[in-house]
Structure 1
Amino acid sequence: MSDLTKILDKSTYKLFLFTFLLGILTYGFTLTTYTISVDNELPILADFGLDVGRWAQNLILYHLFGGHLRYFSVILSLFLFSVAAVQISKLLKFNGFAAFFFCGLFINFPQLSYQIIFGMMAVIAALGVLLSFLSVKMFLKGLDEESILLKIVYFLSIALLLMFTLAMYQAFIFIPITLYLILFFQKTFDEAFKISLEIKKALLFAVIIIISGILYSISVKIICPLQQGGYIESFVSGGSGGGFFSNFINISGTNLSGNFFYGEKLYSIASVLIIVLTVNLFLKKKHFIYRLLVLLVLIISPFTLSYFITNGYHPPRIYVTSSLVFAFVITFAINQLKISSSKITLTAVTSIFILNIYFVTMLFSSNNKIYKNDRRVAEKIDNAIQTKYPSFYTTEKSIYFYGYFPYEYHQKYRLDKSEIFGGSVFNWDNGNNYRIINFFREADIAEYNMIDKEKFDLVKDSIAKMPIWPDYESIKMINNSVIVKLGKDKGGLLYFE
């Protein structure tokens, strides 16, 4: 027994090492370059995340790590994602080449980039996957317990664990659901499979998830000062643009073909393999309808949130199960077709790894170019202020950035459909003063302070006649407050407006 344990531990260690090293290779560019992307300029303060109900995120980032976790978030997130991938592969009983395929495809799929780019989100995203795995693992163990009391303890613990997971990022609730859906699908291949029994288990798991949602809602009311009309509500604030069905068809079609966001292109492989699996399972006949329904739900499940978004903004970071579904479908298809050790398969999977490394590197390279461009502009603005108004640095350094740069300002560095990776601090949120001022600070260019209402009232009537940057007169000091006019249209509102 001890020899078997050693063999298992050795194989697990090798699998983890492979996954982690592939993750480092995939994210090599961002690990070796310094970039301040949009959102990473913001400090982690005492109320961070509370206004959107993410009190667990606040607890981890601010109270446990004092806002410093983001400075080594990429490498730590890759470590945790690798641990999660290995544990999920064991849960799904992938062995040999299949385990390596699954873990590699999971860590390597570019959707993770849209989470890892955020210093405050990278580690949280990895923890979300780990805790989701743990909740499903505990549920399976709870089912095997004979003691009713122990079952209750397990199931209540799972509800609390999922409540915490929701409080880190609400979209994480789809991870345990997707994991259980995959396990349900695999169960249909067991000789002892009984649909009525498995549906009862699934309903029990659904009840636990509902309870976790109720507990989360109660916790939010107690802990978080939620704002009406805030960030989350903004996703459903616009028109649906053609109705739910039209939205469903467009979003599904674009995602299944891998054209919804930059780096998603190879998701189309999973889509094609669903067709291949459908034919394969049809020929086997047994439980075909159940298997087909689960597969169809599984392949579109990562995009569930998008079906309900009406404002037209679909950030790829909300597709938190894309990597899981992508990795599972390809690995399962390889196993089902019995081609895991084929040289063609090894070459094809290696090619997927290489292409995804290219996509991820291009994303972070583009983002780095935009950061460098923003930094150059920020240095020019600060230099112009120092040259024109040297006395400004003896004042309270109150500054107001009016307007924002158009997309053309950084268009040549942007990749199409790259969302946050193509964002410039001088354009995002239509010129958000809080972001811009924090960017100057985080990039170690200048320490400015936001203008207050009293000072703003003294300068606001002088802005209209000013030319826009880079005109020399686009910077003006009035009553010890500096105005920098970035664009002709007013930008984001100040905190007192």
Structure 2
Amino acid sequence: MILKSDADRNDAKQIFLICLIAAIVVYFYELTNFSLSVDEEYAFFSWPKEGLLWWVALGRWGAAFVDYIYRINVYTPGLTVFIMITINGLTAVMVSFYTFRNYFSRLVFCVFFVSFPQFAYQAQFSQQADTVAFGQLLSCLSGLIIYNSIFSDHKANIKRLYLGIIILAFSIGIYQSLISCALIVFIIQLIVKEDDDFEGRGRNWFLILSVACVSSLAVYYLIMIISQKALGVSTPDYLRGTFHWMKEPLQETAKNSLHVITSTLTGKYYYGSSLVPLVFIPIVFFVYKRIKTGSYKWSLPILIIISVLLPFSVVLALGGSQGPRVLMGLSILFAFAFAYSLEVLERLSLKTKKIIAILACLVMVNYSSSVVTSLFYSDHMAREIDSNIANRILSSIQFKYNDFDPRHDKVSFVGKLDVYNPWAKKNSDTFGVSMFSFSNGDPNRMSKFISLTSGISLNLHIASEEQKISVSLFPSWPNSGSISKNDGVYYVNLGY
């Protein structure tokens, strides 16, 4: 039992309410002003059948299962993100009450966890934001169960271990990067409870954890293969392209992977990572406290190094540059470092801890709300710009060819448009990008966006390579001569 007393249960309710309010402040703009983001236009038109098959093709059979059981619409503006932050709040409370004893340590962990800006890069994709949050809850739960199966009784509890393996396999089936959450939750238990639990069979924890992870991955891959064959889908080239170790020189891939790790830990990799380097301050502090109190053990620096590297599990596994959304577990590490530092400050009065906790939470929420709001507003402005572009393109065609009927005549977009969005933030991944430039110019994406925002279902024509070469000889839109007509198809040269 995580909540062993009425006092714990009352504290849990109070902390959950506080961290829910904090998360609402951080995601307030997206909760009240839904911004269409990249890939959400595809998800809207592919739901449900194609969307579910796409999850299976990506190896996310767990996400397909959850969506099939629970999801009514592919996403619901406002509600989907609210469900996400609610689940994140439950996850935070669960981990904090299992890990810490002090109320204010638990509070800091929960508020930092739900506010950490990295998860905004998951929240951007409404078609999976709540599902990934649920997967994260399961991953953290599996980490606690696996830890508990090793250390709670006089001998390892095999039934609990099996349960942890199954839950972890399912969470990986929702989103592969979530494996790092379970591992970090397990490792931080070792750091916090090392004095009590690390002797005896605790020396075998690495072997047991390794067996659990390998078993979970085996179950995951088995179900993935079976589900893909049963539904007649295969892993798309897009996913294979993310595995850089096999397609790029080893040295280049290793260099790019190291760049992701070092630039993240120095606060330069993605917009919103500026606070990440601060994680080393509490880490150094509680190591110093361990040394000073005589409770320092040789395993502590090893566990800390492992916990710092675990959020980059997918980066190390796939190699190369990966988006910030795969850095799952970074929020757990960041929240844990500060919360545990407050926990080991035993000589501080409760009043002083309360002041420190409140100030820390206010700073975190203020920073994160500014970052997250800026990210989602950049998406909002990108769609405003794109809507203006779409209307101008259709008007340009009708101006040149007054018999053009956008509901029936074939239209073909060639190339991509160089779109300037002054609201887009540097290193913000897909936030603030244009539908007319993303993915090297995807005409299907452009057409679906126009359908969503203009209410016109275009009769899209995909140009052949020969036609692209021919059209590219014309000036780029919006210059005169950028629109041409051939064999009943209206071509728009967006440029390269």
Sort the TM-score into its range (normalised by shorter chain): 0.7 to 0.9
Map of 1:434 onto structure 2:
444
Distance of aligned partners of 1:197 and 1:18 in 2 relative to their CA distance in 1, 3 Å threshold: same
Q: TM-score, normalised by structure 1?
A: 0.87
Cα separation, 2, equivalents of 1:62 and 1:96: 39
Map of 1:374 onto structure 2:
386
Cα separation, 2, equivalents of 1:353 and 1:185: 27
- Greater mean alpha carbon deviation, residues 214-223 or residues 336-345: 336-345
CA contact (8 A) 2:122 2:129 kept: yes
Map of 2:20 onto structure 1:
20
Map of 2:225 onto structure 1:
221
Map of 1:493 onto structure 2:
none
Map of 1:173 onto structure 2:
179
Matched, 1:361 2:369: no
SS at match of 1:473: coil
- Greater mean alpha carbon deviation, residues 333-342 or residues 321-330: 333-342
Distance of aligned partners of 1:397 and 1:60 in 2 relative to their CA distance in 1, 3 Å threshold: farther
Cα separation, 1, equivalents of 2:155 and 2:316: 41
Distance of aligned partners of 1:461 and 1:170 in 2 relative to their CA distance in 1, 3 Å threshold: closer
Counterpart AA for 1:101: V
SS at match of 1:400: strand
Counterpart AA for 2:60: R
- Segments of 4+ in structure 1 off by > 6 A? 145-148
Distance of aligned partners of 1:195 and 1:386 in 2 relative to their CA distance in 1, 3 Å threshold: farther
Counterpart AA for 1:100: L
CA contact (8 A) 1:241 1:310 kept: no
Q: TM-score, normalised by structure 2?
A: 0.88
Counterparts of 1:199-218 in structure 2, within 5 Å, are 199-218=203-222
Counterparts of 1:57-68 in structure 2, within 5 Å, are 57-62=63-68, 64-65=70-71, 67-68=73-74
Cα separation, 1, equivalents of 2:447 and 2:101: 50
SS at match of 2:170: helix
Distance of aligned partners of 1:400 and 1:226 in 2 relative to their CA distance in 1, 3 Å threshold: same
Map of 1:128 onto structure 2:
135
User: What per-residue deviation string (whole Å, max 9, x for no partner) do you get for residues 232-258 of structure 1?
Assistant: 4434133355563x5565443322221
Cα separation, 1, equivalents of 2:360 and 2:334: 15
Counterparts of 1:64-143 in structure 2, within 5 Å, are 64-65=70-71, 67-69=73-75, 71=77, 72-140=79-147, 142-143=149-150
Cα separation, 2, equivalents of 1:347 and 1:90: 21
Matched, 1:41 2:34: no
User: What per-residue deviation string (whole Å, max 9, x for no partner) do you get for residues 353-374 of structure 1?
Assistant: 2112211112122222222111
Map of 1:300 onto structure 2:
309
Cα separation, 1, equivalents of 2:290 and 2:317: 32
- Greater mean alpha carbon deviation, residues 235-244 or residues 42-51: 235-244
- Percent identity over the alignment is 22
Distance of aligned partners of 1:12 and 1:457 in 2 relative to their CA distance in 1, 3 Å threshold: closer
Cα separation, 2, equivalents of 1:14 and 1:291: 33
Distance of aligned partners of 1:332 and 1:384 in 2 relative to their CA distance in 1, 3 Å threshold: same
CA contact (8 A) 1:397 1:481 kept: yes
Q: How far did 1:118 drift?
A: 0.7
Counterpart AA for 1:300: L
Counterpart AA for 2:29: F
User: What per-residue deviation string (whole Å, max 9, x for no partner) do you get for residues 66-94 of structure 1?
Assistant: 54335432111011111111111111134
Q: How far did 1:40 drift?
A: 1.3
CA contact (8 A) 2:104 2:357 kept: no
Distance of aligned partners of 1:12 and 1:239 in 2 relative to their CA distance in 1, 3 Å threshold: same
Counterpart AA for 1:222: I
CA contact (8 A) 2:477 2:492 kept: yes
Map of 1:163 onto structure 2:
169
Q: How far did 1:146 drift?
A: 8.3
Aligned residues: 476
Map of 1:415 onto structure 2:
425
SS at match of 1:419: coil
CA-based RMSD of the aligned residues comes to 2.7
Map of 1:483 onto structure 2:
491
Map of 2:32 onto structure 1:
32
Cα separation, 2, equivalents of 1:219 and 1:10: 40
User: What per-residue deviation string (whole Å, max 9, x for no partner) do you get for residues 335-382 of structure 1?
Assistant: 213457423553244222211221111212222222211121112112
- Greater mean alpha carbon deviation, residues 320-329 or residues 355-364: 355-364
Cα separation, 1, equivalents of 2:281 and 2:8: 34
Matched, 1:384 2:391: no
Distance of aligned partners of 1:290 and 1:394 in 2 relative to their CA distance in 1, 3 Å threshold: closer
Q: How far did 1:228 drift?
A: 6.4
Counterparts of 1:267-306 in structure 2, within 5 Å, are 267-306=276-315
Counterpart AA for 1:110: P
Counterpart AA for 2:42: L
Counterparts of 1:319-468 in structure 2, within 5 Å, are 319-338=327-346, 339=348, 341-342=351-352, 343-344=355-356, 346-389=358-401, 391-393=403-405, 396-406=408-418, 409-451=419-461, 456=464, 459-460=467-468, 462-468=470-476
Cα separation, 2, equivalents of 1:48 and 1:229: 12
CA contact (8 A) 2:377 2:423 kept: no
CA contact (8 A) 2:483 2:492 kept: yes
Cα separation, 2, equivalents of 1:424 and 1:228: 24
Map of 1:495 onto structure 2:
none
Q: How far did 1:21 drift?
A: 0.9
Map of 2:199 onto structure 1:
195
Map of 1:55 onto structure 2:
61
Cα separation, 2, equivalents of 1:395 and 1:331: 58
Cα separation, 2, equivalents of 1:330 and 1:111: 17
- 5+ residue gaps in structure 2? none
- Greater mean alpha carbon deviation, residues 288-297 or residues 469-478: 469-478
Q: How far did 1:289 drift?
A: 1.6
